[in-house]
Structure 1
Amino acid sequence: MRGLLVQANGMGRGDAMKNWRLIALHTAAAACFIFLLQRYGLNASLESSLLWAFVFGGCAAGLAYSQANR
């Protein structure tokens, strides 16, 4: 019965995997962008650039997750 409801709603296992893949891609893109901006655009230290990349990646993951579950 649950399988019929899931299929009727248009959500299946493939959709969930697609969402996680897009969340990971969004996270990686944001982290790479801020790292490159900090490191080469603003001439920040490696440690500072990595810290900002980690923080922005986490924020991007949270935002992408909340948007995927709307």
Structure 2
Amino acid sequence: MKQDRASRAAGQGSVGTMKHWRYIALHTVAAAAFIFLLQRYALSATLESSLLWALTFGGCAAGLAYMQSNR
């Protein structure tokens, strides 16, 4: 009986962890895509510059989403 409760508790935590990482990934992709499109097409930046900014903003968004999800 105890093992059943423990496995259910572990299972619920893993689902919460899955949603946690999905939330972080969604923020990362959304921020990177937004800044890439803004830089590349609205501001006519080079491909290299747009990718660098996308990587930077994606990393910052991932960090912020991680901090928010751990509150």
Larger gyration radius, structure 1 or structure 2: 2
- Alignment partner of 1:43: what SS? coil
The CA distance in 1 between the partners of 2:13 and 2:32, in whole Å, is 29
How large is the Cα RMSD of the aligned pairs? 1.8
- Give the TM-score of the pair, scaled to structure 2: 0.84
The CA distance in 1 between the partners of 2:24 and 2:45, in whole Å, is 27
- Alignment partner of 2:60: what SS? helix
Instruction: Give unmatched runs, 5+ long, in structure 1.
Output: none
The CA distance in 2 between the partners of 1:59 and 1:23, in whole Å, is 11
- Number of equivalent positions: 65
The CA distance in 2 between the partners of 1:12 and 1:47, in whole Å, is 40
- Alignment partner of 1:12: what SS? helix
Q: Give the AA of the match of 1:30.
A: A
Deviations 1:20-70 (A, max 9, x none): 011001000000000000000000000000000000000000000000000
**Alignment partner, residue 27 of structure 1:** 28
- Give the TM-score of the pair, scaled to structure 1: 0.85
Task: Kindly report structure 1 stretches of 4+ aligned residues shifted beyond 3 Å.
Answer: none
**Alignment partner, residue 41 of structure 2:** 40
- Structure with the higher helix share, 1 or 2: 2
Instruction: Give unmatched runs, 5+ long, in structure 2.
Output: none
Q: Give the AA of the match of 1:47.
A: E
